[in-house]
Amino acid sequence: MPNADCEFALKDGVLEFKDPARRLPSTWVQGTIVNSFTVGPQQQVWKRTVASAIKRVRDGSPWDPRDLYAVTLEFRFHPGNHQNQELDVENYVKPVIDAVAAGLFQEEEKDPSEIETWDFPDSNFRTLLIHRATDPKDRSREGVHISVSVRRGQRNPASGRGPGSRSPTGAATSIQRGWNGLRRALGRRIEAPPVQCERRIEAPPVQRERNSQRRADGDGPPTRSELEPYIKNFGPYHVVGSAVYHTNPACIWRPKIKRKNLQSGFGNGRKLCSRCW
């Protein structure tokens, strides 16, 4: 139960920000709930059903993944739909969260029933509240209630949106200066984090040719098909355009992943980051 100092409030079993920027109407998605271990068409159909329901009740345009999200899920299982097995509700959360992100962030002109890859950003789904309600007697009453509360998140000044924004070049310079200071303080070399800017600068023909040569040598980004054997749904790896970044929250390095990383594998464990697990 949130306390008086908490930024959330619990209203009718739904977790909400005390100062929400917007809310998604509580949405009931009916169907046999699929867990994370189910593969093939059955999981795709369930995710597409949830994503379609969420997209129908949002207010038209995609929501902003930079905002902060509190999500409440209330599951209702009919044991007969699951061979009367014991059900661990946490195993059924990830497919729903993937689909909620798709429903909130997919472009308006696209159809959720055509989604193949569930890589919509959900890193700002900061707080989840999970209920397992009383099992219904009717098989057709299985499903999940979904509620979403949103608070406006901080905007990156380098993005050029809003007051106080800086140019991408200025932001990159500021970040590099701070990183150089950290290098000096530690007295050793460490890898700088990737700096991402929204402005794309076309490289001259010679530079493009060199880039092509580097990609052939393994310095280019891996494709999704190359990543799939290493991490399901990219896990702690985040795709930005054609680049792939290691974004495990427990790792301070977060390097850019290159094709040659897949070839070397960084040793055991099928990991892609050389500096952490």
User: Six-digit token pair at 23?
Assistant: 């809310």
Which strands sit side by side in the sheet containing 125-132, from one edge to the other?
22-30, 143-151, 68-76, 125-132
**Is the residue at 273 inside a domain?**
no
184 with 209, same domain: the answer is no
Residues 79 and 69 in one domain: yes
Residues 22 and 136 grouped into a single domain: yes
- At residue 102, what are phi and psi to the nearest 5 degrees? -65, -45
> Distance (Å, rounded) from C-alpha 102 to C-alpha 64?
12
Residue 164 lies in a domain: yes
Q: How far apart are CA 139 and CA 94, in angstroms?
A: 22
Q: Pick the closest to residue 92 from 35, 164, 169, 43 (CA basis).
A: 35
**Same domain, yes or no, for 165 and 217?**
no
Does residue 192 sit in the same domain as residue 210? no
Hey, is 50 helix, strand or coil?
helix
Q: Which of 126, 151, 176 is the last residue of a domain?
A: 151
Q: Is residue 130 part of a domain?
A: yes
Question: What is the predicted pLDDT for the residue at 112?
Answer: 95
User: What is the average pLDDT score of the chain?
Assistant: 75
- Of 135, 151, 167, which closes a domain? 151
> How is residue 261 written in tokens?
């990383």
**108 and 213 share a domain?**
no
Distance CA 76, CA 136 (A): 7
Q: Domain check: are 103 and 184 in the same one?
A: no
Q: What is residue 127's predicted lDDT score, i.e. its pLDDT?
A: 92
Same domain, 188 and 211: no
Last residue of one domain, picked from the residues 111, 130, 151 = 151
Domain that residue 259 falls in: 203-267
Residues 53 and 144 in one domain: yes
User: Across-strand partners of 132?
Assistant: 75
pLDDT of residue 271: 57
Q: How far apart are CA 252 and CA 193, in angstroms?
A: 9
Cβ partners under 8 Å of residue 275, min gap 6: 251, 253, 255
Q: What is the pLDDT, as a whole number, of residue 66?
A: 94
Q: Please report whether residue 275 resides in a domain.
A: no
Domain assignment present for 68: yes
Work out how many domains the chain is built from and give that number: 3
Residue 33 lies in a domain: yes
Given a cut of 70, the residues of the chain with pLDDT beneath it are 1-5, 156-219, 224-225, 227-256, 259-277
Q: Do residue 188 and residue 207 come from a single domain?
A: no
Q: Are residues 83 and 183 in the same domain?
A: no
The predicted structure's pLDDT at residue 199: 47
User: Do both 209 and 190 map to the same domain?
Assistant: no
In this prediction, residue 6 carries a pLDDT of: 75
User: In the prediction, which pLDDT does 205 show?
Assistant: 58
Please report whether residue 102 resides in a domain.
Answer: yes
Q: Do residues 165 and 159 make contact, with C-beta atoms less than 8 angstroms apart?
A: yes
272 in a structural domain = no
Residue 67 sits in a domain whose CATH number is 3.30.1330.70
